[in-house]
Amino acid sequence: MAQQRFFTLAEYLRRRFSLRVRKIPLDAGFFCPNRDGVLSFAGCSFCNPHGSGSGLGKQGLSLAQQWEYWKERLSRKHHAETFLAYLQSFSNTYGSIDKLRSVLSEIARLPDCIGLCLGTRPDCLGGEKLDLIASQPFSETWLELGLQSSNDETLARINRGHNAACFAAAVRQAADKDLAVCAHVIAGLPGETPEDFLETIRFLNGLPIRGVKLHNLYVCRGSTLAGDWRNGSYIPLSLASYADQVARAVAALRPDIVVHRLNGDPAPGELLAPDWAGRKTDVLNAVHAKLQARNVFQGQLYRPKESICA
Ligand code: SF4
């Protein structure tokens, strides 16, 4: 068996539950202030205007119908026994608290649902919504918060609509309510160097996060980035460079942080570039080969003094 070089989500779930756990993506029809004109209409420069996720919500399937659709497939294909509901598409705490309450109570009634992963922006939370999320009867709740970069110039460049301080404040508020935060970050953002990505990892180390998703930036059809890529002002990372950045990030990452993902996964039809981003197995193989070649283990370069930053 291959040596475990970082704290995977699979390992974390295996320790928590003795059952096979899988995530089910649900589209609850939320939208995003960076898309509806409250902050901008353009969205983050890398964002697919149609949102991520399965698209089943747009086809008119209720949450219960989406759940059954995935549950049946994942039980058959992966012998999954129990499930986490994953609110993935757009910003799933944006809008009224009544809508959020109604969605969460529907999810809590789904059969064999033991937990919730809720993706949102750090500027779409606040005490009342965090209290509501923390009060749900799940065994496991993850708040998946987009940061992307700790560099405010980068955040402005990609039209993120919030800064790093906003993210840090939301993480601390969520942690005070004992919610587990999984931070989303991206390597290869426009104008960033590998050192900038490492600086983002160090920034996360100083915050009470419990998980991280590492993503490679890829160019989506219909995004602002697609125009930059076409006119040559944005050049995607090579796979070798991405694997190198991930290896350095894993070495620098605080050892207790659960690594939920090592790559971004384009939805069918949305990928323009780079080609390698669509070959998940190649990406993961390249990352694992780099970790092995350099004998990298999570946290081997982590220095606890980072906890005083941010
Ligand atoms: S916050 Fe998410 S949904 Fe909103 S524009 Fe950015 S990437 Fe798209």
pLDDT in tens, 141-196: 999 999 999 999 999 999 999 999 999 999 999 999 999 999 999 999 999 999 99
pTM exceeding the 0.85 threshold for the entire prediction: yes
Going by alpha carbons, the residue nearest to atom 7 of ligand 1 is: 47
How does pLDDT run across 106-115, given as a tens digit for each residue?
A: 999 999 999 9
User: 310: CA distance to ligand 1 center in Å?
Assistant: 24
Question: Which ligand 1 atom is nearest residue 48's CA?
Answer: 8
User: 35: CA distance to ligand 1 center in Å?
Assistant: 7
Q: Do you find a cis peptide bond into 274, omega within 30 degrees of 0?
A: yes
Confidence of residue 78 (pLDDT cuts 50, 70, 90): confident
Identify the pLDDT of residue 308. 46
Q: What is the DSSP string of 156-177?
A: HHTT-SS-HHHHHHHHHHHHHT
Domain residue ranges in the chain: 9-294
Identify the pLDDT of residue 188. 97
User: 287: CA distance to ligand 1 center in Å?
Assistant: 26
Calculate mean pLDDT across residues 61-73: 95
User: 71: CA distance to ligand 1 center in Å?
Assistant: 27
Q: What is the chain's Cα-based Rg?
A: 19
Residues with CB under 6 A from ligand 1: 32, 34-35, 43-44, 47, 90-91, 121, 146
Calculate mean pLDDT across residues 19-37: 94
Identify the pLDDT of residue 51. 67
Best substitution site from 27, 31, 35, 45 to test ligand 1's pocket, by max atoms within 8 Å of Cβ? Answer: 35
User: 27: CA distance to ligand 1 center in Å?
Assistant: 14
Tell me the CA distances in angstroms from 49 to 45, 52, 82, 138, 187, one per residue in order. 10, 9, 32, 31, 21
One-letter-per-residue 3-state SS of 112-147: CEEEEEEEECHHHCCHHHHHHHHCCCCCEEEEEEEE
Task: Tell the CATH topology of 9-294.
Answer: TIM Barrel (3.20.20)
Going by alpha carbons, the residue nearest to atom 2 of ligand 1 is: 90
Instruction: Give the position of tokens 């080609």.
Output: 275
